């Protein structure tokens, strides 16, 4: 895997600025929310939508880089992070739930994503799956259990449009017939939630030989129910998952194993 010591143009970071484990919130304001959970941190860079802090959580080096809204900017972050040594990335975001058993403030841990965005299609044919690293998924589940937060595990759908692309209406009620059945089809397929970055992050991570995961807090469960809750819970679970992953990675290294499996414990 090629590493570059030169500063990356968009994220404004170079090798040595970041830990191998990187959290990827969309909103730059979430960088502060995440970093305040750590024992210590320092600001590394602020450029465009990319805000970056590096610190320590329970003895483990950790970084957080905001990606802005949508898959194009998230894809740039994954590209540039890979170039300077990051190998494990966890999206920490917000989403809308589309299954009736999910409540505002619940967390959704993604095992895979429906590629309704366009960025990943610039890299590989649409039949290629957008799947999470099983190690990251397991670490997120264990962290959510340790912390006692309500969570769901399953498939996410990532779109390029917050309005029409998620089955809603645009300005002045504009709506296209091609999205009329989108929500119903996704519900019937068992998809848990809608957001805008996970599919691209998963796809690129797999193409580049990296590990990726995603945990989102549910802000909406219907057009009429929207609550800003659970944001810090997702950040805490993701940070705790990094600690868990670091322990597993150390055990793998000591046993000279490439993959984590339960009896390594």
Q: Is residue 191 part of a domain?
A: yes
Q: Is residue 215 part of a domain?
A: yes
**Who contacts 253 (Cβ-Cβ below 8 Å, separation ≥6)?**
none
User: How far is it, in rounded angstroms, from Cα 238 to Cα 170?
Assistant: 33
Q: Which domain holds residue 227?
A: 21-254
User: How far is it, in rounded angstroms, from Cα 144 to Cα 75?
Assistant: 27
Q: Is residue 244 part of a domain?
A: yes
Phi, psi of 191 (to 5 degrees): -65, 135
Residues recorded for the chain:
265
- CATH number of the domain to which 29 belongs: 3.40.50.1580
Nearest of 53, 21, 20 to residue 39 by alpha carbon: 53
Q: Is residue 193 part of a domain?
A: yes
pLDDT at residue 1, as a whole number: 44
Q: Is residue 262 part of a domain?
A: no
Q: Is residue 13 part of a domain?
A: no
- Output b/e per residue, 1-36; b: 16+ Cβ within 10 A: eeeeeeebebbbbbeebbbbbbbbbbbbebbebbbe
**Who contacts 160 (Cβ-Cβ below 8 Å, separation ≥6)?**
70, 71, 116, 117, 118, 119, 196
Nearest of 219, 237, 213 to residue 37 by alpha carbon: 237
What is the number of structural domains in the chain?
1
The DSSP annotation for 93-113 comes to EEEEE-STT--TT-EEEEEEE
Q: Is residue 91 part of a domain?
A: yes
pLDDT in tens, 187-209: 999 999 999 999 999 999 999 99
- Output b/e per residue, 87-115; b: 16+ Cβ within 10 A: bbbbbbbbbbbbeeebebbbbbbbbbbbb
Q: Is residue 14 part of a domain?
A: no
pLDDT in tens, 38-86: 999 999 999 999 999 999 999 999 999 999 999 999 999 999 999 999 9
The pair of three-digit structure tokens given for residue 12, joined into one six-digit string: 């404004």
CB 54 within 8 A of CB 97: no
CB 91 within 8 A of CB 50: no
The pair of three-digit structure tokens given for residue 3, joined into one six-digit string: 């590493």
pLDDT at residue 133, as a whole number: 98
pLDDT in tens, the chain (265 residues): 444 568 999 999 999 999 999 999 999 999 999 999 999 999 999 999 999 999 999 999 999 999 999 999 999 999 999 999 999 999 999 999 999 999 999 999 999 999 999 999 999 999 999 999 999 999 999 999 999 999 999 999 999 999 888 888 899 899 888 888 999 999 999 999 999 999 999 999 999 999 999 999 999 997 778 888 889 999 999 999 999 999 999 999 999 999 999 999 8
pTM for this model (two decimals): 0.95
Q: DSSP class of residue 36? A: T
């Amino acid at each position: 895997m090629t590493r570059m010591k030169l500063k990356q143009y968009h994220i404004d970071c170079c090798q040595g600025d970041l830990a191998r484990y990187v959290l990827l919130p969309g909103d730059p304001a979430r960088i502060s929310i995440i970093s305040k959970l750590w024992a210590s941190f320092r600001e590394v860079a602020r450029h465009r939508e990319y805000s970056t802090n590096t610190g320590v959580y329970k003895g483990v080096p950790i970084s957080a880089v905001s990606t802005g809204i949508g898959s194009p900017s998230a894809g740039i972050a994954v590209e540039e992070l890979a170039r300077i040594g990051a190998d494990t990335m966890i999206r920490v975001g917000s989403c809308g739930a589309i299954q009736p058993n999910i409540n505002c403030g619940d967390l959704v841990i993604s095992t895979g994503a429906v590629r309704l965005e366009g960025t990943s299609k610039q890299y590989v044919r649409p039949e290629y799956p957008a799947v999470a690293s099983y190690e990251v998924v397991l670490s997120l589940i264990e962290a959510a259990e340790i912390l006692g937060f309500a969570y769901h595990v399953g498939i996410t759908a990532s779109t390029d449009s917050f309005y029409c692309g998620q089955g809603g209406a645009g300005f002045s009620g504009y709506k296209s017939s091609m999205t009329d059945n989108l929500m119903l089809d996704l519900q019937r397929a068992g998809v848990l939630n809608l957001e805008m970055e996970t599919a691209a992050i998963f796809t690129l991570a797999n193409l580049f030989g990296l590990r990726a995961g995603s945990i989102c807090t549910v802000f909406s469960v219907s057009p009429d129910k929207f609550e800003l809750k659970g944001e810090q819970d997702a950040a805490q679970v993701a940070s705790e998952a990094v600690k868990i992953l670091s322990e597993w990675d150390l055990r793998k290294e000591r046993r000279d194993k490439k993959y984590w499996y339960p009896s390594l414990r």
